[in-house]
Homo-oligomer: A and B are copies of this chain.
Amino acid sequence: MSAADITFILICTGLVFIMTPGLAFFYGGLLRKKNIINMMAMCFVSIALVSIIWFFISYSLAFAPDIGGGFIGGFDFIGLFGVGRDSYGVYSSDMPHLLYMVFQLMFAIITVAIIASPFSERVNFSAFIIFISIWLIFVYSPIAHWVWGDGGWLGMLGALDFAGGTVVHINVGFAALAIAMVIGPRKGYQKEVMEPSNIPYVLLGMGLLWLGWFGFNGGSALGANDIAVLALFNTHIGACAGGIVWMVIEYNNTKKYSTLGIASGALAGLVAVTPAAGFVEPIWALIIGGVSGAICLFVLTLRTRSKIDETLDAISIHGTGGIWGAIATGLFASVGSSGLLLGNLVQLLIQIIGVLATIGYSFGVTYAIAWIMNQTIGFRVPIEIEYAGLDMSQHGEKA
């Protein structure tokens, strides 16, 4: 075991943790004032609930030795049985297994919190709680297993995903799309003005997300080494490029420097650089981030014109940026791996398989879960409550 690596991953765990409170502010500020608490509550309850389910079952399903042909982990780590202070060489011999587990937990939390996007401003809080519990077990855990689990099929195939482009971003993006399609748009969507109520909150959230992402991508090197450094810098420069590109395109259209545009572009850059962070040289990270800013803005514009009210655009940013990032990794990988640029077409194909498999599974299974829940329990609050805002009715609180 290495004290330096333990230090590094411990701190990175903290950094990834703070992303979820950051997301609460990022997302909350984008909604109308009457629903801000509801969004923050969704993020904070995700922290608590995901952790407990992870403890008892999800970590095992994702990271215990495979039992289903690369599809799902077994029950060896149920209740964290055997996950202790010793290292577990399969994942890292430099740190206690417990540390690897809690670092991974933070990824699961933020992923589940991002999924709050399509639930914004219209959904019963009980239904949200039930949904995310099921989703964590049946969607997140298997996909995490495929890519990072011991014996997961995508990992075995050689798919490159440095810090969770498929597991986190593509997954959550398409899950969000499926949910949005099932539960339908907010009342008044595309008719009434639904203004972002607190842009400083969005920027506070962005600051914390950006900081946290250093832990997210840097920590994914699982050690304090040159790859961690590369990943951190790539993360940063990708975010910068994404922010500038989005801002410039928006400026061309509107002659305004939208601050939300800078923040959204930086987020798009961060997402796209995630799978590539430790595999590419910085110049490619810059390009990946910049291109992501353009693509995500394009998809977001299409989305906002469509009937699909995937309110906070997990699909347009996480979904789209995640796909582009996964493919870009297949194109530009050169550090400890090789992509198309180094003549390795196979890698690109593997990446595409990873993307398609994730989209298919995530969208399909999420749609099914959401559809069944919608038919049975039902997601939507009554229309008067939707108009009056969820903060008062669901939480008895006012922002």
**Interface residue from B199, B224, B256 paired with A398 (Cβ < 8 Å):** B199
Given A21-B206, A98-B233, A99-B229, CB of A44 within 8 Å of CB of B262: yes
- A18 interfacial by beta-carbon distance below 8 Å: yes
Q: Are B397 and A259 in contact (CB under 8 A)?
A: yes
- A230 interfacial by beta-carbon distance below 8 Å: yes
- A92 interfacial by beta-carbon distance below 8 Å: no
Which of A6-14, A170-178, A309-317 is found at the contact surface with chain B?
A: A6-14
- A93 interfacial by beta-carbon distance below 8 Å: no
Contact with B along A224-240 (1 / 0, CB 8 A): 11111110110011011
Most chain B beta-carbon contacts within 10 A, residue among A40, A229, A236: A229
Report the bound CA distance from A65 to B214 in whole Å: 29
- A352 interfacial by beta-carbon distance below 8 Å: no
Report the bound CA distance from A239 to B40 in whole Å: 17
What residues of chain B lie closer than 8 Å to A344, measured between beta carbons? none
What residues of chain B lie closer than 8 Å to A283, measured between beta carbons? 79-80
- A48 interfacial by beta-carbon distance below 8 Å: yes
Q: Are B204 and A25 in contact (CB under 8 A)?
A: yes
A305 CB → nearest B CB, Å: 19
**Interface residue from B3, B102, B240 paired with A4 (Cβ < 8 Å):** B3
Given A240-B48, A240-B52, A282-B55, CB of A7 within 8 Å of CB of B11: yes
**Interface residue from B4, B18, B55, B239 paired with A237 (Cβ < 8 Å):** B55
Q: How many residues of A contact B (CB 8 A)?
A: 97
Which of A149-157, A184-192, A241-249, A296-304 is found at the contact surface with chain B?
A: A241-249
Report the bound CA distance from A2 to B6 in whole Å: 13
Report the bound CA distance from A45 to B2 in whole Å: 38
What residues of chain B lie closer than 8 Å to A203, measured between beta carbons? 21, 24, 40, 44
**Interface residue from B3, B207, B228, B396 paired with A225 (Cβ < 8 Å):** B3
- Give the B-binding residues of A (Cβ under 8 A): 1-8, 10-11, 13-15, 17-18, 20-22, 24-25, 28, 36-37, 40-41, 44-45, 47-49, 51-52, 55, 79-80, 85-86, 95-96, 98-99, 101-102, 105, 125-126, 196, 198-201, 203-204, 206-208, 210-211, 214-215, 218, 223-230, 232-233, 236-237, 239-241, 243-244, 247, 254, 256-260, 262-263, 266, 282-283, 286, 394-399
Show 23 A/B contacts (Cβ-Cβ < 8 Å), sorted by A: A3-B8, A4-B7, A10-B214, A10-B229, A10-B232, A17-B214, A20-B207, A21-B208, A22-B207, A41-B259, A44-B263, A45-B243, A48-B241, A48-B247, A49-B244, A51-B236, A80-B283, A85-B230, A98-B229, A98-B230, A102-B236, A199-B398, A256-B395
